[in-house]
Structure formats: C-alpha cells, structure tokens
Structure 1
C-alpha cells in the first residue's frame, strides 16, 4: 500500500484548542511533519494551497489558516532536510502559466533528487480571480479544457530537453545541447514558443496528482494522472469509485497499476475500542465548535444565523439561494436548497441540534480503534480494492502523525503490506509507476 501525509491547509480539520496545536506557518512545523512521514517510510508529503483567503459575511473566518507560505517554496526548503520523502504541491492551472509552473516543478525535482509532484487543480470563481489580472474570465465549463492543455504544455516543456542517457558521448552531447529546451506550442489556451531553461529532471516529469470527483475529473485522472485523491473514505463508496476510475484506464492504453487511488482519511487511536471512540467524539466536538457550526450552516442557508442557538433546532427560516454569504468555499456551491431539505429531514428524524447535525454532516473520521484494529481496517480497505493507500490528514499540527508512525505503521510492516524501507530514490520508485511517457526526439 501507499501512504502519504497531508499538512492541513484551509480547513475545519485542525483542533486549535488543543494545547499541542502549533504553528501552521513556522518552518519547524513543516519539518516536524515531513520528517515524521519520512521516518514512517511514507510515499510523499502534500501541501494544499488556496489563492485567496476565504470570507464569511465579508470577513475572514478566524478559524481558517491565514498567512500560509507558498507551497513550492516550502517544499524546496524541505528538500534539504529530507532524503527520500516525495514532495507534492497543489498548483492552480487556472491562474498560472505553463512555462513558469513547469520551471518551478523541474527545479524542485532537481533540488530533491527526483521527488517532486504536482497536484493539478482548477479554480471556478471570480472571487479568487480578483487577485489576478484576468479576474474571473474563465467559464467553469472551460476549466478542465485549460487544465488538460496546461498539463500537456508543461510536458512538452519538460520533454524539450533530452534525457541524460541520450547525451552520453561528447558529439551527441554537443548536438543535444544545441537544440535543448526548444519548444513551440500552438493551442486554444496557450500559444508559446522559445527555449525552456531547466534540463530534464531526475524523474523526467514530476508525478501528476488530480483530485476531481466529477465524471470529467475522473476522466482527466484516467488519461493524465499518476495519483488521484479521493474523498471516498467508506468501504463501499471506495470500492465503487475504485472500480469506476480503474475501468477508464484501458482506453488510454494504461494498466490498472499506473494510477494510484488514495482517499483522504483520518485516524484516532485508543488503548481500547471504547477509549478510541470516546476520543473520536471529543475531537469531532472540538473541530465543530458552536461558532463553527453556525458558520457552516450560514454557508448553506445563505444568510446570517448568528442569533440562533447552536445547541438548538435548525433555523425555521428558508434559505436565501442568491449569492450567499460565503466566498471561496467550494462546498457551498451546487443545490443548496436540496442540501437544506435533506438536513432538515435528518435533523427531524434523529432529533439533532444545529451543532449535532454539522458534526454528522461533516464527519471525516475514518479509522478509529486500537493500533492493531486500525492497522487491520487500513489493510482491509486496500485488500478489498477500495484504495491503493491513503493520504492521512491529522487534526493536530505538527505532531498529528506521531502516533500513527509509532504504533500503526510497524504493524502494517509486520503484516508485510507496507514497505520496511525505501527501495529507490524517486517518488516514482515509491509509487511503483515507472517513468513518464517517452520524450520527444531532440531535433
């Protein structure tokens, strides 16, 4: 199986009130979590990224992470204090340009000795676009068109340099250098030509990650990704997603093992099953504070609900389905009216308060139990073809993976289902996916 670590970003996962909760900005926090993941022989360390601070009723929500340093810069620094751990960053394809992104990722691949990965994402809203000259120009329907061409253009740039083994003798080397970096791309989204400044990295191409769950997103992953992040942390949902995505690979000439499916998951350990369950309940209540519960509900109701008791019943007012009060939160898109109707039915059926409903609706805890039972649950998920592994999202920064690495990983190694040590230097080696597509011939 494959394991990865996620450093929480803009989220409602972090338990800020825990005395062990540290900085999400200081470099020492990144170092601690990355080194913990590497000690556990994880495949990679992942940083998400938001391009604008999210707002609620025109104000920054103070339980969000604010002030997060830029991801590729952080990973470049981490490449100097780790030796084998893959380093993955979200980089937006809507508000960036292929040349610059390809250059930064190739640089990270060189600095890290072949450990770079790129989570290709798109942006849907003009709110984020206000931070950029183009604003919100891109229609939502065109997001994947741009992302697909963006990725293909970046690959052309990486392939514009010959692999190192093709320039072994001096004569061939001089010839290759004469044409190195030459590129020309003519497409509907990009029309660029010139010379690419960074030689081909140790991996050829950085590992490509994708996180879309729509039909279009799944197709994009099947065609172009090496890893897909999944939100399906339940066994039956995971099996269905796994089967669907893997079945799409053959049309692109790819084998099932060339795309790794990794759901985002959490864990809670206890000395007994009851102890773990009690801890899990405490963590959920700490994540969904009374204020957080109201803020979350306001996103779907589209109106100010500050006058309601979070421990009381759901608001009796109808939702405002207009522009809403939240900006920058993808979960508040879609049919909010349908969500409200579903929640009202659930609250009525189970007698849930506002806070209890939000805890139920946003529950992310996946593996709960003793170290041995959690190791068994993780293994069952993978052996049942519901995932190829997991991206663990801790609720504490920076020590949230310490217990997992110390108590659960050794049991997975004991079972023989997770590596005892790294077997190669690159992230592609860790994932077992081999090299990228063959590069173009150098002129």
Structure 2
C-alpha cells in the first residue's frame, strides 16, 4: 500500500529591511505603514496559508558604531501589528517572535492571551533567546546570558507562561452581572511560581483563550534549541535548504520527541524559504541572479566581510579582490553585542576558504558574498517550484515552508496566483480552511485534549 500524501503547510514571513528584501526596488513598499502589512496578510489568507509570521526587531543593527544599510527603518512593534491584522483577516494565523531573555512571563502571557481572544484563536508565539548585549542595553541588563543559561531561562519562561494560561479553567468561574460578583468559589487566574529565574505569584487577569495557549514556535538550531523544541514547541523553524540537510534535521528533531511522551505529528518542521518565479526555469535563473545583486550592494558586501574579518575594510573595493590581511581574532568585535558569540567560529579558516574559492572562480568581494550568502531556496517556473516543494515534504525534509518574498508587500502574489493552485490540484494543499483556529490549520490538538490523552495513557 502506498504511503498517503502529506498535506503541505505554507506560511508567509513579512521581512524587515535585511539581506533578503530588495527595499530599494521601485516595486517595494513601506516596511512600516500598516497598508503594507494588511496587503501582505490578505494575500496570504487568499492563498489559504496557515499563518503570517513577524520577526522581532529590538534594536537597529550597527557595525563600527554606525547603523548600516541592512536596517534603515527598524520595525514596528510586533503585537501592535498582529492585533491590527486580526481585524482585517478572518482565518490567517498570526505569529510573532517575542524574546524570552528581555521580557517577563506575566506581560508576555497577557499579550498573547489577549491576541488569541482578539483573533478568535489565531495567535502563535515564536520563543527566542538573545545573546546580544548591544540589544540588552535597551533593557538595563548590562550584558548577556551564557547559552546554557539562556535556554534554561527560556524553558522556565515558557513553563511559567503556560501556568498563567492554564490558571483559568473553562467555565469554573461564572460572573453574576446583576450583583457584580462571582458565583464560583474558584480563584480565577491564581498562580504561584517559584524557580531559578522567576519567583512570582498573583492572579492572571485574562480568561482562558480560544486555543487555551498560543501555538508555540522555536527557532534555535543548536542542540539545546532542538531539545527545547522537542520538549515544548508545536513547530520549529529550520534553516536547511537542501534535501539531504533537511532530512537529517527532520529525523534528528523528530527522534527526540518520544522521550517527552510526544508523537511525531505533534511537532512540525518548517524551514524558511525564499523563491524566484519565472515563466520558464531559465528565466527564473536569470531573474534570481539579478535579485541577488540587488540584495547585496557593494556597501553591504564590505559590511558582511567586516563581520568575518573584524576590521574596518571600508578602503577596499567591493568589486576587487579579498583582503590579504587576516581577520582580527581579538576580544573586541566590530559589531557590538557579538563579541562572545560569533557566526563564524573560526574566522581564520573561513578567510582561507573564501580566498581559495574567490581565486579559483575569479570572484570579487561582492561576488563572494553573493555566492556564499543566503540563496533563493526555490527558483523556477511555477510547476518546477510546486514540484520541488512537494518533493521536500513527501521526502520528510520538512512539513512545509515559511515563504519569504524579496519584494514586500506584493512579492507573495505570484506564488499565491501561480504555485498554490498547482499544489491544490495535486491534492497536497487545502482549498478551504478546515477550522477557525491556527491549531486547526496546523493539525494540532487543543492543549486540554493533549493533557487528557496523556492522563489516559
């Protein structure tokens, strides 16, 4: 008997100004005006996507003490945007990244419970940690947490918010409007939490929301991050864009679930994916090359190289060869807040490898950054892209994708108009929403049902 086809999950990420967006293109709209977010959300909902995703921008990026062209406008507050989008959409899930290092459980739980009520059960939380002392200055924390302590705090942070969400128990508390009193002796929202990171007690003032708790996403790729997702998350983002890497990540994370009493279908694997469409595969390839050169300006290429070299390279020609000088591996880093955690753990080895590749291929600095940086995950005609996406999902390299267009807010339209119908024709993507909540879209059970299932087993 053949294996039944998996249903594909699709979501849309509205990116800030970064090396994915081509914000300088005449077709690009505002990254701060609400009309851009509303247009983007309506397109995602028209295409029957599971959810819209917003990342969190707590501080403008800088290098060498200056804000640079990858972050020229910042990003509005996540909760404000999602609450506003709840009013202009009916089905689309609303997912936001909120930091567990620089916030407090009571406030975050209250915000997400409120969003879940306002949206009739469409809220989701991407739980992240932060090692960035530069960002931490905004919160008067004067430093950062080591990696093991960041995840320890995140686990307790999430557990504490879940205690708050669960502190209202269905219909136990009934209000008598005539007398203005409660008819039940139940203490609505009462909580007490004592732990390593939080020692709080009181009463949570937002009633149980439609989903019970927001859907929980997690984005860490470290061993600690994968374990955190396996124990606590409903979905995990993946950064792997090749079939083999995707399958390895999928297998690893799913294999961790059993120790927490969870089934494979209780955690979704959703990589982020950029795309470029053309009438033919060749046309799409040509367009993708043009997009990459728009994404990586000469100034951007130099800034990217400076992050690895840890030196001021502003005197170098981005269309010239790589520097002969080696990276500075000293304690102080050119980008504040990143001195202790480097994206490239061995800058000297990275520099040697990049010089060899640049010399072998005749690449300039800009060429190298284009070739080694983020690549479009899906390039081709609509039929090619639809087939590739389906192949990934059916081969257990993912459960779906979070699509990141390079133009906002209109960049999602070609995918919605040309690729989604092909997936629907193949029977691997919905033609209508199955239920009102984000948990319905993702095929996830209500927390109360999961609790009852575990109690019965």
Question: 2:344 touches 2:350 (CA, 8 Å); kept in 1?
Answer: no
Matches within 5 A, 1:181-330: 181-322=189-330, 323-327=332-336
Q: Does 1:90 align with 2:97?
A: yes
Please identify, of 259-268 and 349-358, the stretch whose mean Cα deviation from structure 2 is larger: 349-358
Matches within 5 A, 1:21-420: 21-164=28-171, 176=184, 178-322=186-330, 323-327=332-336, 332=343, 334-420=345-431
2:451 is aligned, of 419, 428, 438, to 438
Q: Does 1:8 align with 2:15?
A: yes
Question: 1:326 touches 1:332 (CA, 8 Å); kept in 2?
Answer: no
Question: 1:8 touches 1:393 (CA, 8 Å); kept in 2?
Answer: yes
In structure 2, distance between residues paired with 1:342 and 1:425: 51
In structure 1, distance between residues paired with 2:81 and 2:324: 46
The match for 2:438 is 427
CA RMSD of aligned residues (A): 2.0
Q: Could you say if the C-alpha distance between residues 328 and 273 of structure 1 is closer, same or farther in structure 2, counting changes exceeding 3 Å? A: farther
Q: Aligned to 1:420, what secondary structure does the other structure show?
A: coil
In structure 2, distance between residues paired with 1:49 and 1:233: 23
In structure 2, distance between residues paired with 1:407 and 1:284: 22
Per the TM alignment, residue 64 of structure 1 is displaced from its structure 2 partner at its CA by 1.4
Per the TM alignment, residue 168 of structure 1 is displaced from its structure 2 partner at its CA by 8.4
Structure 1: gaps spanning 5 or more residues: none
Please identify, of 386-395 and 14-23, the stretch whose mean Cα deviation from structure 2 is larger: 14-23
CA deviation profile, 1:280-316 (whole Å, cap 9, x unmatched): 1100111011111111101110111111111111111
In structure 2, distance between residues paired with 1:294 and 1:121: 29
Please identify, of 47-56 and 37-46, the stretch whose mean Cα deviation from structure 2 is larger: 47-56
Per the TM alignment, residue 342 of structure 1 is displaced from its structure 2 partner at its CA by 2.3
In structure 2, distance between residues paired with 1:60 and 1:438: 48
Please identify, of 209-218 and 336-345, the stretch whose mean Cα deviation from structure 2 is larger: 336-345
Q: Aligned to 2:139, what secondary structure does the other structure show?
A: coil
TM-score normalised by length of structure 1: 0.95
Structure 2: gaps spanning 5 or more residues: 1-7
Q: Could you say if the C-alpha distance between residues 119 and 234 of structure 1 is closer, same or farther in structure 2, counting changes exceeding 3 Å? A: same
Per the TM alignment, residue 386 of structure 1 is displaced from its structure 2 partner at its CA by 0.2
CA deviation profile, 1:210-252 (whole Å, cap 9, x unmatched): 0000111000000000010100011111011001001111111
In structure 1, distance between residues paired with 2:403 and 2:254: 22
Question: 1:10 touches 1:49 (CA, 8 Å); kept in 2?
Answer: no
Q: Could you say if the C-alpha distance between residues 375 and 331 of structure 1 is closer, same or farther in structure 2, counting changes exceeding 3 Å? A: farther
Per the TM alignment, residue 393 of structure 1 is displaced from its structure 2 partner at its CA by 0.7
Please identify, of 429-438 and 273-282, the stretch whose mean Cα deviation from structure 2 is larger: 429-438
TM-score normalised by length of structure 2: 0.92
